[in-house]
Amino acid sequence: MTEISESEERIRRIGNSAYLVIPAYLVKSKRIVRGDPVSVRLLSDGSLKIVFQEKGDDEQ
């Protein structure tokens, strides 16, 4: 799985929406592709945790 947290990556907020800026190396290496499933969680400290399921990963 590829995890991106708010503390590590850039989050852009516009109004009530938040946009995640995906690092270019993840896209260029094809680790993240448009249409991939994603899980978003709000942690107790108010930060976001975004998890991309990689091909071949089993759900845990």
Tens-place pLDDT, residues 23-46: 777 777 777 777 778 888 888 887
Report the predicted TM-score, pTM, of the whole model to 2 decimal places.
Answer: 0.45
- Please state, in angstroms and as integers, the Cα–Cα distance from residue 11 to each residue in 41, 43, 50, 58, following that order: 14, 15, 11, 28
Q: Establish if 60 belongs to a structural domain.
A: no
Q: Is the pLDDT of residue 7 over 60?
A: no
Domain assignment present for 58 = no
In a domain, 10, yes or no: yes
**Is 13 inside any structural domain?**
yes
Whether 32 is covered by a domain: the verdict is yes
- Name the residue range of residue 45's domain: 2-52
**Domains: count for the chain:** 1
Burial environment of residue 20 by CB neighbours within 10 A (0 to 12, 13 to 18, 19 or more): middle
User: Contact 48/42 with Cβ under 8 angstroms?
Assistant: yes
pLDDT of 60 reads 46
**Which residue shows structure tokens 């709000």?**
42
Give me the sign of the Cα torsion angle 2, 56, 18, 49. Answer: negative
Looking at the domain assignment, is residue 59 inside a domain?
Answer: no
